């Protein structure tokens, strides 16, 4: 088993929390893990990504080779496409469709969505809306984690338990909300 | 032992804690910041009473670590690569004084300049100072070198340099711990005279250092971090160091590389190992993260006139960090890339946060100098450097910590008026104070903005040494009290602020304007913590 995942988004959108939850869940599943992330300057509203690699064998490189990513998991549609050359020919692109528009030349939304939907393996989901319906738009990243969960080769139960641990300090209400968000993302993909 | 998932930075910090370190000294700088933060947040480090507060700059940190080592205890000092320039004076001379308690200097390089103004390779500094250098290739080695670095330092009574790079510093992996060692007792160096670098004594110490080079090299030949792995196909031999080794292993999964490999993670270069690969192979390929340091040195060691491939002949790009694709291409094993980058993607550069006090300061400054050219504003290193980008385009320089004040002074000396410097609070106490003193002593006609957001913001909100002291420092340095003006960078204060700036930039002497408002990020964090 080997899963190479590119996590993408804009600084502050919560991709490092997704990375941390998948990472802990992977270790709880006795997998090897490498996860490269971006700190520093680009965290200030710029594009950010994290290379997350899971395997039952030891992992060599901290970076995923271009052309080898099994999954691009993005919390923002343009950021999903920024890493397209990293995607393997049979890889999945899973993205939130809600744009984060903090630049003057943000591309045309229809063109973006058409490009995303033209890919042979894609999941496009309005995670902000689903998160709102589940209780809070702040769980958008967890909705995306739920949408990616069928592709991760990690038991759904283990993901749930990891979320319980991850948000333990924040209280039961926050845990419930995030579990609901996870389930909503998962259901969206299962019912597709 | 316990299994952990740690960043390369954190693995090194945990290794140092477990190795009986008594103190860590540092100024924050990407990608090195998380080493010290890890120690600051470690319960174990707290229980062991390990000293870990931020220093004013890398030079004070380096000197304090030398002092702790002098007193017999193990000390680590951490910085980013350009921080080692700031600490270069004590660093170079610490090779002459030698160490008493283990002394490990950590410099984290940033090839590809993700968050830096250059991509200098700290291994050159190690070679320059003639001390052993360790370069971990993965998180486990980073942890292990936390232990080994102190051992090596105490074995030879010499500082040891550990060189990290961004991708290792900021990547997480599983790490296995070793048993914890006790800290050293307080014990002043047997021969404190070795720290007196008067010429007559320095010459003696330097001869000791020169003599030890053979021992350092022997140590590298037998180091557990350097190894030679045999390969059937001798047409090519590969010499690789640090994290580049991982990319090679990625390109040849499950040890399938057919070529002999020399993996180097400890310097000085293990010359006998290099001679062995020269004997066996027809051609050599060099894979190094950073500059072609080994490649250039090995060219001088070889005698058979082998073809050498690497960064110098263009097989590998001369600049920028490596990745598996670059390494695969050099070995004719390219990955299939199906998808191109869509041309509708727009760039998304970093920018000042919504509500950032710097934005309000720059808007006021831009308006105050309207009609004058903007090329009179010198700046410095921090979040506010982003003010160079559109839409603000308020500043014109960013060179090194503290340069803004001195460049403004030099330009004023040459005739520029008004001449303006913009520097952050933490950068000011890092390297701005001496420049301000120069300006006061000459009554230079400059205006210095000290942007006080009460933190070291760009690296994630570390405590600033300037906190609550800026006016006192300026007065102490001799700035006229009447020309130290504090403003509040808020939209509703805009008119008032523009007026203050206009007054001060035309003053014929040194004036200081302190726009003071807390960083929105640290404010948010503080509010969150309060709620809990």
Instruction: Quick: pLDDT tens for A1-21.
Output: 999 999 999 988 889 999 999
Q: Which two tokens stand for residue B110?
A: 């940033």
Terminal alpha carbon distance of chain B: 34
Asked if the model's pLDDT at residue B531 lies above 90, the reply is no
Same fold for the pair B227-330 and B357-524? yes
Q: Which two tokens stand for residue B234?
A: 């001798």
Closest Cβ opposite residue B335 in set A38, A68, A115: A68
Residues 50-109 of A with CB under 8 A from B: 51, 57, 59-68, 78-79, 81-82, 84-85, 87-89, 102-103, 105-108
Owner of token pair 């950010």: A48
Please say whether the structural domain B357-524 has been given the CATH code 3.40.50.970.
Answer: yes
Residues in chain B: 532
The CATH number fitting domain B227-330, selected from 3.40.1160.10, 3.20.20.140, 3.40.50.920, 3.40.50.300: 3.40.50.920
Contact predicate B32/B83, CB 8 Å: yes
Q: What is the dihedral of CA B145, B263, B334, A59, to 10 degrees?
A: -40
Which pLDDT belongs to residue B1? Answer: 45
Q: Where are the domains of chain B?
A: 3-221, 227-330, 357-524
Distance CA B15, CA B176 (A): 10
Inform me whether the C-beta atom of residue A46 falls under 8 Å from chain B C-beta atoms: yes
Q: Please give the helix or strand (H or E) that residue B149 lies within, else none.
A: helix B139-156
Distance CA B250, CA B247 (A): 5
Q: CB A63 to CB B173 under 8 A?
A: no
Distance CA A54, CA A159 (A): 14
pLDDT tier at B166, thresholds 50, 70, 90: very high
> Which fold is adopted by the domain B3-221?
Rossmann fold (3.40.50)
Of the ranges B1-5, B295-299, B473-477, which is most confident? Answer: B473-477
Smallest CA-to-CA distance from B123 within B169, B154, B87, B162 is with: B162
Q: Which two tokens stand for residue B409?
A: 């002074």
B3 vs A contacts (CB less than 8 Å): 27
Mutate to test the interface with A, among B245, B342, B358 (most CBs of A within 10 A): B342
Contact predicate B25/B79, CB 8 Å: no
Smallest CA-to-CA distance from A132 within A94, A63, A185, A173 is with: A185
- Return the number of CB contacts < 8 Å for A and B: 151
Contact predicate B281/B235, CB 8 Å: yes
Asked if the model's pLDDT at residue B54 lies above 70, the reply is yes
Which pLDDT belongs to residue B69? Answer: 98
Rg of the Cα atoms in chain A: 16
B353 vs A contacts (CB less than 8 Å): 44-45
Q: Where are the domains of chain A?
A: 2-190
B113 vs A contacts (CB less than 8 Å): none
> Which fold is adopted by the domain A2-190?
Pyruvate-ferredoxin Oxidoreductase; domain 3 (3.40.920)
Which pLDDT belongs to residue B301? Answer: 76
List, for residues B472-515, the tens digit of each pLDDT value: 999 999 999 999 999 999 999 999 999 999 999 999 999 999 99
Q: Which two tokens stand for residue A168?
A: 């333990």
Mutate to test the interface with B, among A47, A63, A79 (most CBs of B within 10 A): A63
Q: What is the pTM of this model?
A: 0.94
């Amino acid at each position: 088993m080997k899963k190479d995942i590119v996590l993408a988004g804009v600084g502050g959108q919560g991709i490092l929390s997704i990375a941390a939850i998948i990472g802990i869940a992977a270790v709880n599943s006795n997998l090897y893990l490498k996860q490269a992330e971006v700190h520093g300057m680009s965290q200030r509203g710029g594009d950010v990504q994290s290379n997350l690699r899971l395997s039952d064998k030891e992992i060599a490189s901290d970076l995923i080779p271009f052309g080898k990513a099994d999954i691009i998991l993005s919390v923002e549609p343009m950021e999903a496409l920024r890493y397209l050359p990293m995607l393997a020919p049979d890889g999945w692109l899973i993205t939130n469709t809600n744009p984060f528009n903090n630049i003057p030349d943000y591309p045309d939304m229809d063109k973006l969505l058409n490009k995303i939907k033209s890919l042979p393996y894609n999941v496009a989901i309005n995670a902000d809306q689903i998160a709102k319906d589940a209780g809070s738009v702040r769980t958008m990243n967890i909705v995306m984690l739920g949408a990616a969960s069928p592709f991760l080769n990690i038991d759904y139960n283990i993901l749930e338990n990891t979320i319980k641990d991850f948000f333990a300090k924040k209280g039961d209400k926050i845990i419930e909300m995030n579990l609901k968000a996870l389930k909503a993302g998962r259901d969206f993909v299962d019912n597709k | 032992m316990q299994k952990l998932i740690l960043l390369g930075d954190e693995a090194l910090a945990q290794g140092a804690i477990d190795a009986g370190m008594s103190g860590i000294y540092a100024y924050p700088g990407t990608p090195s910041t998380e080493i010290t933060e890890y120690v600051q947040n470690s319960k174990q480090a707290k229980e062991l009473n390990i000293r870990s507060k931020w220093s004013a700059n890398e030079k004070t940190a380096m000197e304090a670590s030398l002092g702790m080592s002098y007193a017999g205890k193990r000390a680590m000092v951490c910085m980013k690569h350009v921080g080692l320039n700031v600490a270069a004076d004590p660093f170079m001379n610490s090779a002459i004084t030698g160490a008493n308690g283990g002394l490990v200097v950590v410099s984290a390089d940033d090839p590809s300049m993700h968050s830096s103004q250059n991509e200098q390779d700290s291994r050159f500094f190690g070679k320059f100072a003639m001390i052993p250098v360790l370069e971990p290739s993965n998180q486990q080695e980073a942890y292990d070198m936390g232990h080994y670095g102190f051992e090596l330092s105490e074995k030879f009574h010499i500082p040891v340099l550990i060189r990290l790079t961004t991708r290792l510093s900021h990547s997480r992996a599983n790490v296995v711990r070793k048993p914890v060692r006790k800290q050293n007792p307080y014990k002043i160096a047997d021969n404190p005279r070795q720290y007196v670098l008067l010429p007559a004594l320095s010459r003696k110490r330097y001869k000791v250092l020169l003599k030890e080079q053979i021992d350092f090299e022997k140590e590298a030949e037998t180091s557990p971090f350097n190894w030679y792995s045999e390969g059937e196909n001798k047409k090519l031999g590969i010499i690789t160091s640090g994290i580049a080794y991982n990319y090679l292993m990625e390109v040849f999964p499950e040890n399938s590389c057919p070529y002999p490999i020399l993996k180097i993670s400890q310097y000085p270069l293990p010359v006998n190992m290099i001679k062995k690969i020269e004997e066996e192979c027809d051609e050599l390929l060099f894979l190094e993260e950073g500059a072609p340091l080994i490649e250039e040195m090995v060219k001088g060691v070889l005698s058979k006139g082998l073809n050498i491939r690497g960064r110098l002949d263009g097989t590998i790009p001369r600049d920028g960090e490596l990745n598996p694709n670059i390494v695969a291409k050099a070995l004719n094993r390219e990955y299939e890339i199906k998808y191109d980058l869509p041309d509708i993607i727009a760039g998304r550069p970093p920018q000042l946060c919504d509500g950032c006090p710097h934005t309000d300061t720059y808007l006021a400054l831009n308006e105050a100098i309207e009609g004058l050219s903007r090329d009179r504003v010198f700046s410095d290193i921090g979040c506010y450097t982003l003010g160079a980008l559109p839409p603000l385009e308020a500043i014109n320089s960013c060179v090194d910590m503290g340069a803004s004040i001195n460049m403004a002074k030099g330009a004023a000396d040459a005739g520029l008026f008004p001449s303006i410097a913009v520097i952050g609070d933490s950068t000011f106490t890092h390297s701005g104070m001496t420049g301000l003193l120069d300006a006061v002593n000459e009554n230079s006609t400059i205006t210095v903005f000290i942007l006080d957001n009460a933190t070291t913001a760009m690296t994630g909100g570390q405590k600033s040494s300037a906190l609550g002291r800026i006016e006192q420092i300026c007065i102490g340095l001799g700035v006229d009290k009447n020309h130290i003006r504090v403003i509040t960078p808020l939209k509703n204060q805009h008119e008032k602020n523009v007026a203050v700036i206009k007054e001060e930039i035309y003053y014929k002497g040194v004036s200081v304007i302190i726009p003071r408002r807390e960083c929105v990020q640290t404010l948010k964090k503080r509010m969150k913590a309060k709620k809990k």
